[in-house]
Structure 1
């Protein structure tokens, strides 16, 4: 069930993130800059949705919430780094920039879920 919730949040996050990425690219921003801005916005949206809806974290203290946020941001930066490397590889191989963003996004999603479940929001 957690995976289903994560994927639902991911669909919303994809609409927000990729919508912003593609809008920025359409406005003339580079794929790389568009990616950075889109994922920065997406990480903030994703933390709130995954904390409350997906993993139902009950961290009550400010310190625990801050630690959880720091772990989430760290894990998403790892996921995003793998995403960005994938994006650059795809672009260097001549893959269409929009398709490259989708492939890189899949890497981000898989990595983000695993790190969130195993490390960030793990129970007990």
Structure 2
């Protein structure tokens, strides 16, 4: 039984690590958003942008080192990798902001619930982008 579990974990190691670090990235995003919007009373869109920036920085480092184990540190390669990472995250970040705007401002849904749901969409998209475009072998 233990051997099967280890074999299964090794087979899906990348996905498991992405889920762990994606979860931590989401926690950073949501806690930052909550502290800025609720505790400091900063506008929800501004809070969302700041939370996004902090979570993208965390995600790049953890994805590069732990999830996709991208070991190339040549400057040209790093620049291309970072530009691609930020570009894809900008797309998903804009999508996140758009979802928040439509569902909170226009449709009057609870901002915190929409924030959590938007993050689920963003995590899935970011894995696809990272796997196929950024950290490809």
Q: TM-score, normalised by structure 1?
A: 0.94
Decide which of 44, 64, 67 is 2:80's aligned counterpart. Answer: 67
CA contact (8 A) 1:76 1:112 kept: yes
For residues 15 and 84 of structure 1, the distance between their equivalents in structure 2, rounded to whole angstroms, comes to: 17
Whole-angstrom CA distance in 1 between matches of 2:91 and 2:45:
16
Deviation of residue 60 (structure 1)?
A: 2.7
CA contact (8 A) 1:86 1:103 kept: no
The structure whose RCO (Cα within 8 Å, separation 6+) is larger is 1
Aligned length: 123
Q: TM-score, normalised by structure 2?
A: 0.86
Gaps of 5+ in 2: 1-11
> SS state of the match for residue 15, structure 1?
helix
Aligned to 2:21: 9
User: Matched residues in 2 for 1:110 and 1:63: separation?
Assistant: 28
Which segments of 5 or more consecutive residues in structure 1 lack a partner in the other structure? none
Aligned match of 2:46: 33
| Structure 1 residue ranges (4+ consecutive) displaced by more than 2 angstroms after TM superposition | none
Q: Does 1:83 align with 2:72?
A: no
Contact 1:87 1:103 in 2 (8 A): no
RMSD over aligned Cα atoms: 1.0
Does structure 2 conserve the Cα–Cα contact (< 8 Å) formed by 1:21 and 1:38? yes
| Higher Rg | 2
Task: Give the SS at the match of 1:81.
Answer: helix
Task: State the distance in 2 between where 1:15 and 1:97 align.
Answer: 16
